Amino acid sequence: MTIPTWRRWPAGCLLGTFLAMLLPTAGFTEPSAAHEALLKNQGWTSFGGVASGGQYSALDEINRANVKGLERAWTSRTGDVVEGPAIEGGSSFEGTPIYWGGKLYVCTPMHRVLALEPDTGKVIWRFDALSTLAEPPPRFAANCRGVSLWVDPDAEAGASCRARIIKPDIFARLIAIDAQTGKACEGFGDKGVVRLNDLDNGGEGDLYLTSPPAVLGNLIITGSVVGDNIVANAADGYVRAFDARTGKLAWSFNPIPVALSDKTGGSNVWSLIAVDEERQLVFLPTSSPSVDPYGVNRTEPIPLANAVVALDGRNGEVVWSFQTVHHDLFDYDLPAQPILFDLKRDGEAIPAVAQITKLGFVFMLDRRTGEPLHPVEERPVPKSNIPNERASPTQPVPVTPAPFARQQINPDDMFGLTPVDKLACRRRFDALRYEGLFTPPSEQGSIQLPSALGGGNWGGASLDPRSNTLIVKTQNLATIMKLVPADPAETRPTGPPVEFLKKPLNQTPYRLDGEFFLSPLGIPCTPPPWGELVGIDLDSGEHLWRQPLGRYPITDGVRTQASWGSPNVGGPLATGGGLVFIGAGMDSTFRALDTTTGELLWQDEDLPAPAMAVPMTYQHDGHQYVVVAAGGNGLAETKQSDAIVAYRLGE
């Protein structure tokens, strides 16, 4: 059956929504403002290119016909890198620069913001966020995926802090920096700083910021990272809007129902927010409530968790919401920025929002009402065998598009480099619980495919708005989720977990002992390809092409074969030249593919480290540049670097 959409209607939105439902597609033969902005985008002033997302630029100087002439224009070294795995403090460089006013702006893993010359990569100014702390700690690596830009429409050209770079940081602070000078904007918050941990966040534990905030008019809108697998009653996943001039709180939104605020938390927005400036709507990809694999404390529904939530950007009130996972026990939070576009149907342009998920689904919803634009069904899923667990009996599944990630395995699918290796995987499979998609965690140990790493994940999709082709990267890895009985009164770690799959689950009778589903040789038991790039026609829901993505380095100079793909972090960039640029794989390769066919057209196989970030592009002095952070990732235990690499066509 088609799932019901849960809504809460603010009084001020009733009339407009009622009219939209009476004529759901009438009058939309012309592109919406969001779709038009993406079609014409030639700048890069926010993480996804434009505020409505999409990771697309209309620039076409670099195109299918000449991309083989692409050369490195410059390599900039930030000086900010810590080599080694994340558990030992190793850095991850996931920053995507923005371009404005003849400068590039990027944040580093060591709490700095740099302004760079766009044609040379030379540092213009450097801002140290640790310097704004009363007692700066020893320098350490922390993730920063990007910065945001706000330009004061009422300030005169050249005025101090007319253009502000907004930096999020690991201490849950928003820092406003003058884009011209690199000095803190003293009038914003407390001497340039707004501190979210000074606010009442409900529950226990601090907040963290890794993703750049959204900008809507004169508001800076941010979610946060919550330690949702550390303690059952984690901090609530507030989304807040602050005045861009003063830093004063304008509104706040809490996805956790009041009745559950002292029992659970999370449902936060750790990824990117999208905005529809024309309709003054804010689109949130919310995450799972705490703690993910054990939901006994969640005694009532939490409909705004694991949901695309549309807020009225003027006051933070809910306009509509659509839940993609019920009572999440899997850490299947929404990992990527919603993408606003116009779905073409019967000669009309329907304002839509596309959301990818860790499960490998694409949900396409009417941007005005939240109604699905492709059929979605509620399908039965396996029951939990954990005492008192309220696992949902059904889960929403889009009929189209088909999943872009592998969602099923069987015993005969086990992979191994040798027969012995393959047999070991088969024996492990037989000893674990597995009943297909949404197999709940168990004391026995359950296979989870896709894993909580995706499927789709952060930075995972771009959109070519000319053809409505979604280009999404995916990985096909299984993990094991095992709930181990533990004394609820025992003291367990309370800081952020550095091992992604091992979590304390404080205030519950369990801890999570998770691991990748690997053979004795450390090779995934799931069959390759382990990483792919997929092209999807959003109008029809059809898959257009699919290509393996990345190669896994075994030793220096030796990699797995290209058809196997690799685990990946980061995402694609699509351009008006008919190209998709992406690194993301475990190899140190940056590549360009044909948007229409997925054919590999060009690659640079000698980056300083894997490019595990989202690329961007801009035009400066008449030349198009493509830029990507090639710094590797401590969590993926890749080679690491402090390099930002820029490309342009040769003379």
Q: What 8-state DSSP symbol labels residue 495? A: S
Catalytic residues: 331
Question: Rounded to the nearest 10 degrees, how much is the dihedral formed by the CA atoms of 139, 145, 146, 148?
Answer: -110
The 3-class secondary structure across 319-341, one letter per residue, is EEEEECCCCCCCCCCCCCCCEEE
Which of 62, 52, 143, 148 has the alpha carbon at shortest distance from 97?
148
Beta bridge partners of 257: none
Q: Give Cα 153 to chain centroid, integer Å.
A: 30
CA angle 23, 29, 35 (to 5 degrees): 105
Strand order in the sheet with 249-253: 214-216, 219-222, 239-243, 249-253
Place of tokens 């948007």: 595
SS3 call for 170: coil
- For 286, residues 6+ apart whose C-beta sits below 8 A from its C-beta are 237, 255, 267, 268, 269, 304, 305, 306, 307, 308, 309, 333, 334
> What is the C-alpha separation between 82 and 110, in angstroms, rounded?
9
CA distances from 597 to 65, 87, 533, 601 (A): 14, 40, 11, 11
Helix (H) or strand (E) holding 112: strand 112-116
CB 474 within 8 A of CB 357: no
Which residue do the tokens 């490195």 mark? Answer: 72
Phi, psi of 54 (to 5 degrees): 125, -25
Greatest C-alpha distance within the chain: 72
How big is the CA angle at 218 (ends 32 and 134), to the nearest 5 degrees?
135
Q: 261: buried, middle or exposed (CB in 10 Å: 19+, 13-18, 0-12)? A: middle
Task: Measure CA of the first residue to CA of the last residue in the chain; give whole Å.
Answer: 59
Radius of gyration of the chain (CA): 23
User: What contacts 43, CB < 8 A, 6 or more positions away?
Assistant: 49, 57, 99, 100, 618
CA angle 87, 88, 91 (to 5 degrees): 85
